[in-house]
Amino acid sequence: MFESSFAMAYCVFVVALLGLCMGSFLNCLAWRMAHGESVTKGRSHCVSCGHELAAKDLVPVFSWLLLRGKCRYCGTRVSARYPLVEALCACVFVSLFLRYGLTLTTVELIAFSCALLVLSLTDLDIYVIPNSTIVAAIVIRLAYIGIGGALGMHDALALLVESLVGAFVVAVPVLLLSLVMDHVLGRPSLGGGDVKLLFVAGLYFGWQQSLFLIILACVLGIVLAAVGKRATNAGEDPETGEIAQTEVDADASEVVEDAQSRLIPFGPAIALSCWVTMLVGPQVVSWYLSLVHL
Ligand SMILES: [Zn+2]
């Protein structure tokens, strides 16, 4: 596919760079969505002192490293989450590029990953999966189906039907199960956002891969909950504590309090499982089917 390993290395470098910059942008986008700030207006500023950030403060990962994780203007610690998210975004971009090459699928899955990253961050911060991210993910999938159909890559109608069947086969049982669990536990079990996100997963991956995705998400959710609980017990300031202070309105802290009893951060767990499924989903399904047919 590539003329030389040099060309390949160059492409990976460019994709990684794009991933870093997109990660920086999505960090900012998610923060603004979680804090009710305008997404389009205003320049990036320090969360603590409000100083506008210059270009040299906004270089992904490197600015944070050079400033040793502190604001240049007020010296307040800047969470390591920002460079980590930027690096993660670069990893996601590169892994999808290596898996699918220069194809429409890569573009689709990278765009989907961006929506997943934003909703993971808002879910971690305010326990909300914004509807706008769900809508964006659906629009991306429909655009892929339409454009791919127009280019003759697939039968658009057949793929649309297949995707919708996948979405409903996954989402309807999950919705019913969560309603039953709500009733049994007497409190919300799965968030409505989680069910919508699983609907989207079904739309992208079909029901077979989604089964694997849900099992993986449950395991990851429990692991993330254990890690989060440990961090909280160790006296570290969880991101949510910060928000409860800055966000003065009672609504937000109520949401946080209600959600803390929920414990399992399912949004990020589902998002991570989506990434794994993008990379190895079909292989896992055919491996599983080969076991069944033995
Ligand atoms: Zn500052």
- The chain-wide mean pLDDT, for the chain, equals 86
Are 136 and 257 part of one and the same domain?
yes
Whether residue 293 is contained in a domain is answered as: no
The tokens describing 256, both together, are 């946080």
191 CA to centre of ligand 1 in angstroms = 34
50 CA to centre of ligand 1 in angstroms = 6
What angle, rounded to 10 degrees, do the helices at 266-292 and 104-126 form?
130
SS3 162: helix
List pLDDT tens digits, range 131-144: 999 999 999 999 99
Q: What distance lies between CA 10 and its chain's CA centroid?
A: 27
Domain extent, residue 145, equals 104-282
Instruction: State which amino acid sits at residue 155.
Output: D
Q: Is the pLDDT of residue 91 over 70?
A: yes
46 CA to centre of ligand 1 in angstroms = 5
Q: Is the pLDDT of residue 113 over 50?
A: yes
What's the average model confidence in pLDDT over 167-185?
90
115 CA to centre of ligand 1 in angstroms = 28
DSSP secondary structure code for residue 4 in this structure: -
Are 145 and 231 part of one and the same domain?
yes
Say if CB 113 and CB 96 are below 8 A apart.
yes
Backbone angles phi, psi at 81, to 5 degrees: -60, -35
pLDDT of residue 197: 95
Distance CA 224, CA 268 (A): 9
List pLDDT tens digits, range 19-55: 999 999 999 999 999 988 888 877 888 888 989 988 8
Q: Is the pLDDT of residue 236 over 70?
A: no
List pLDDT tens digits, range 193-235: 899 999 999 999 998 999 999 999 999 988 888 887 776 665 4
Are 180 and 117 part of one and the same domain?
yes
Are 207 and 121 part of one and the same domain?
yes
Are 94 and 180 part of one and the same domain?
no
- CB burial of 149-166 (b: ≥16 within 10 Å; e: otherwise) equals beeeeeebeebbebbeeb
Whether residue 290 is contained in a domain is answered as: no
Distance CA 183, CA 177 (A): 10
257 CA to centre of ligand 1 in angstroms = 28
Are 275 and 202 part of one and the same domain?
yes
Distance CA 67, CA 21 (A): 18
List pLDDT tens digits, range 244-267: 333 344 444 444 444 454 556 789
Are 74 and 115 part of one and the same domain?
no
Are 112 and 36 part of one and the same domain?
no
Whether residue 287 is contained in a domain is answered as: no
Whether residue 120 is contained in a domain is answered as: yes
Choose one of 63, 85, 102: the last residue of a domain. Answer: 102
Say if CB 222 and CB 290 are below 8 A apart.
no
Choose one of 41, 70, 102: the last residue of a domain. Answer: 102
List pLDDT tens digits, range 50-80: 899 888 888 999 999 999 999 999 999 999 9
Instruction: State which amino acid sits at residue 216.
Output: L
What DSSP element (H or E) covers 135? Answer: helix 131-150
Whether residue 179 is contained in a domain is answered as: yes
Whether residue 291 is contained in a domain is answered as: no
Structural domain count of the chain: 2
43 CA to centre of ligand 1 in angstroms = 14
Are 87 and 195 part of one and the same domain?
no
pLDDT of residue 188: 75
Are 184 and 197 part of one and the same domain?
yes
| CA separation, residue 161 to residues 135, 166, 171, 200, 209 (Å) | 18, 9, 15, 14, 16
Whether residue 135 is contained in a domain is answered as: yes
69 CA to centre of ligand 1 in angstroms = 11
Are 213 and 239 part of one and the same domain?
yes
Choose one of 76, 102, 128: the last residue of a domain. Answer: 102
Burial class from Cβ neighbours inside 10 Å (0-12, 13-18, 19+) for residue 33 reads buried
The tokens describing 35, both together, are 């804090």
Are 185 and 246 part of one and the same domain?
yes
54 CA to centre of ligand 1 in angstroms = 12
